[in-house]
Amino acid sequence: MHMSGYPHIDKPWLKFYDKYNLELPKLNLVEYLKQKNTSRGNKIGEIYYGNTFTYDEIWNNSDIASRVLSSLGVGKGSRILSIVPNIPEAGFLWFGAIQLGAVTDFIDPRPDSMDLIANGKKTLEIVKHEKINFIIALDKCYLAMLKPIENELKEYGINDIIIVNTTDSMLKGKAEYMKDVMAYNELRNNRNVNSDIKKLKNYQAMLLKIKELNQFDMLLKDSIDKSVLNVRFYHDLVKECKNARFYNVSEFDLPMYIGHTSGTSGSRPKPIVLTNKNAISNLEQVINAKVAADEGDSALHILPFFAPFGAYDNYLLNIASGVSNIDIPEFEINEFGYLLKRHKPNSIMTTPAWISALPSYKFLDNADLSFIKKIIYGGDSMTAGEEITLNKWLKDHNCSVVTEKGYGMSEFAGCGTYARANYNKLESIGIPLCDTTYAIVDPEVDDKLVPLKFKDNEDRLFGELAISSDVVTSGKLDDEVIVAHYQLDGASYMRTRDLVEMDRDGIIYHKARKDLSFPRFDGYKIKPYEIEKVILDNKMVENVAVVSYYDDRQKGLMPRCNLVVKKSLNEEEKLALVKEIVYSQIIANPTTNSRQIPSKFIFRDRLPLTKNNKVDYNYLTKEQLDGNEVNVDVEQTNLTVENIHIYYEKINNKTKKRIK
C-alpha cells in the first residue's frame, strides 16, 4: 500500500486498534449511560464516606434532580452554574439537568482568597459572560463566592440558589469525615514526636473541626435568613418535589456541559462547550482504547468536574464502565498517598507530580500496592528516568502494572491520545484515539493549516499538533468564537499549540508549548504571558518574565517571576511590592486565579536576551535558585485558600532564616 507520508492521511496508528470508525448511539448522555449499564442495576456505582449508591440509585437520584430543577423552571437551553466539588449531588444534578436539555456550567469551587469581594466579582464575571440562569453551590462556596454579590445577582435576574452540603450523602454523618481529619492531621504532625503527643494533636484537630463546623452552620443559617434571593437547601427541595413530573429531552447534538480552561487573550477562564455527541464520542473512544478499568473495580474520583478531563475521563468513564467512583471532595496534594492507602482503589487517574511523590511518603515504605490494576497520568510528562524509577518503586510494592499515560485538552474533553501495551514508549504520550485524527502542521503559519510529511530518511516528524474528531468542541458560546477551527482535506481541525514529534508508527512525543505554558504540580495550566500582562500593570514594574521551576515542597512545577523594577528597592520595599502584586493585581483581580500566583519572585537588573534580542526564557528556566528570592506560600486545599505567607528565605551554611 502506497503511503503519502502525511500522518492525517495515512493514520499509521490504526494498526494498533481492532476496531475503529465507531457507531455512536443518537442519545443524550444519561440515556447512553443507562444503556451501558442495563445489567448493572444493583452494582455499586458510587462510594462516598461510608455510603454506597447502586446504578439504579444513581438513576433514581438523577430523576429526583430533574424533578427539582424542573419545578424551579429549568428547561431546554437553561444554564446552571455549578460550584460543587466531587460529591454525589454534583453528578445527580448534572444528569438531572441533561435530562431537561439544560447546560451545567462547572466552575472551580475553590474561593481564590480570604477577600470575599474579590471572590464574588470573579463569579459575577462568569455569570454575566456565560449567561447563567440558575446557580447550585456548595454551602461553603455560597458564603465565599455568592453571598457578597447577591444584590448584583438579583439585578442580573438570578432568583434561585440551591445549596448542597458535603454531609448530606454521608451514611454515618460527620463521623467518617472526622476520621480523615485525624488522619490528615497525623500526616502533618512531626514524625519524631511520641505517639501520645500525636494522639493529643489529632484529638485537638478533631475538636477544632467540630467547633468550626458548628460555627459554620450558624453563619450559614443567618446568611440564608437575610438573603435577598430564594436560597434553598437541596435536601428540602427533594422532599417537596416527590410527585413532580419532568419531560426528558433526547437530543444528540444539544450542549449539556461547559467546562473551563485558561484564557487565551486574557486570564478569564475560557468556557468550553461540549454536547451529548462530544461526550459519547469521547467515552466510546477511550473505552475502545482500553483506558477504562474493569467492571466491578473501584477508582478515585479526585479530578474536578470543572476540568473536562475530570468530568469525562475520570467520573463519566468509570460510570460507563461499571467502575465504582470513590468521591473525594477535598484534600491536600500531599495527602494523595494517604488516599491510596485508605481507599485501595484499583484504578487511579492522576498527574505526574502526585504519583512521582509516592516514593517519598514514609508511611508507604512497606505498603502492599497489589490492589492497583491501572494507573494513568496526564496533564504533564515525565522523563524516561522518572518513569523507570516510579515503575520500579511500584513493582517493589507488589504492583503488577506500569504507569500508562494520556494527552488531551479541555477543548476535546481531556483525552486525545493514550499510551499502553506496546505503544507505551518512555516519554511518549501514545497514539491518537481510534476516531481521532492528528495532522502535524507547520507551527510558523498561524492563519491556516500547512500539513507536514515525513521525508524518506526521517524517522520522526516535528511540528504542531492539529486535531479532528467528533469530540472537539464547536468552539462557540452563543455567537462568540472561543476556539477557532481550520479546514484541511475536507475535515475540520483545531490547533493545539503543542509542539510534538511523531514517529512512523504514529506514536507521539510532546516537546513544548508554543506559548511557553506549563502545568503546575496539580495540573492547572500556567500561561506565562497572562500573568506577565497582569504584573506589568504595576507602575513599579519595568519588565517581567514568568517561567517554571521544580518545587521540592509541592513535588512538581510552580511559576517563578523574574522582575525588573524602575528603581532600586531595599528588602522591605521588595516584600511590599510583591505583597501589592499578589493581593492587588492577582487576588483582587476578577480575571485572574490564585493558582497563577508565582511562588518565587526574583528581582533583577535586566532580563537575559537571546541573539535575536528576545527574552531568553530557556536560560531563565535553567537558572538555579540561590535563596535570595521573595517566597510566596499559598496554604490551600482543592477547595479553599487558607493563608498566604510572603517572606525571604536566606540560606547560609544550610541554615534557613525567615524574614517576615
Select the CATH number that applies to the domain covering 1-14+437-514 from these four: 2.30.38.10, 3.90.1150.10, 1.25.40.10, 3.40.50.1820: 2.30.38.10
Cα Rg of the chain, angstroms = 25
C-alpha cell at 347: 484504578
Q: What angle is formed at CA 265 by the lines to CA 261 and CA 269, rounded to 5 degrees?
A: 25
The per-residue pLDDT for 326 is: 96
Q: How many whole angstroms separate alpha carbon 74 and alpha carbon 536?
A: 43
Residues in the chain: 660
**Does the structure show a pLDDT above 60 at 131?**
yes
The per-residue pLDDT for 152 is: 96
pLDDT band at 187 (very low <50, low <70, confident <90, very high): low
pLDDT band at 234 (very low <50, low <70, confident <90, very high): very high
Q: What is the CATH number of domain 22-169+229-404?
A: 3.40.50.12780
**Does the structure show a pLDDT above 80 at 563?**
yes
Please choose, from the candidates 610, 544, 611, the residue with its C-alpha nearest in 3D space to the C-alpha of residue 581.
544
pLDDT band at 195 (very low <50, low <70, confident <90, very high): very low
Domain boundaries, the chain: 1-14+437-514, 22-169+229-404, 523-659
The per-residue pLDDT for 396 is: 95
The per-residue pLDDT for 215 is: 73
The per-residue pLDDT for 392 is: 95
Q: Which of 117-121, 177-181, 607-611, 644-648 has the highest mean pLDDT?
A: 644-648
C-alpha cell at 472: 472537539
pLDDT band at 518 (very low <50, low <70, confident <90, very high): confident
pLDDT band at 258 (very low <50, low <70, confident <90, very high): very high
What letter would DSSP give residue 451? B
pLDDT band at 262 (very low <50, low <70, confident <90, very high): low
Mean pLDDT for the stretch of residues 189-194: 46
Between 170 and 17, residue with greater pLDDT: 17
The per-residue pLDDT for 634 is: 87
The per-residue pLDDT for 502 is: 97
**Does the structure show a pLDDT above 90 at 523?**
no
pTM of the complete model? 0.82
C-alpha cell at 324: 465504582
**Does the structure show a pLDDT above 70 at 457?**
yes
**Could you give the percent of the chain with pLDDT greater than 90?**
59
What is the secondary structure of 570-626 as a DSSP string? -HHHHHHHHHHIIIIIIIT-TT--GGGS-SEEEEESS--B-TTSSB-HHHHHHPPP-
pLDDT band at 339 (very low <50, low <70, confident <90, very high): confident
Between 466 and 657, residue with greater pLDDT: 466
The per-residue pLDDT for 180 is: 59
The per-residue pLDDT for 552 is: 84
C-alpha to C-alpha distances, 614 to 345, 457, 465, 565, 610, nearest whole angstrom? 48, 34, 25, 18, 5
The per-residue pLDDT for 641 is: 66
**Does the structure show a pLDDT above 70 at 114?**
no
**Does the structure show a pLDDT above 60 at 198?**
no
**Does the structure show a pLDDT above 80 at 379?**
no
**Does the structure show a pLDDT above 60 at 660?**
no
Quick one: fold of 523-659?
Answer: GMP Synthetase; Chain A, domain 3 (3.30.300)
E-strand ranges in 250-394 read 255-261, 270-275, 298-301, 324-327, 347-350, 374-377
**Does the structure show a pLDDT above 50 at 206?**
no
Q: How many Cα atoms within 13 Å fall on the side-chain side of residue 333?
A: 21
How many Å from the N-terminal Cα to the C-terminal Cα in the chain? Answer: 70
The per-residue pLDDT for 268 is: 62
Mean pLDDT for the stretch of residues 581-596: 85
The per-residue pLDDT for 653 is: 39
Mean pLDDT for the stretch of residues 517-539: 85
Provide the mean pLDDT of the chain: 87
Q: Which of 106-120, 150-164, 619-633 has the lowest mean pLDDT?
A: 106-120
The per-residue pLDDT for 156 is: 94
E-strand ranges in 13-155 read 44-48, 51-54, 79-83, 103-106, 134-138
C-alpha to C-alpha distances, 209 to 144, 174, 178, 360, 419, nearest whole angstrom? 18, 10, 8, 28, 43
Q: For residue 132, what are the β-bridge partners?
A: none
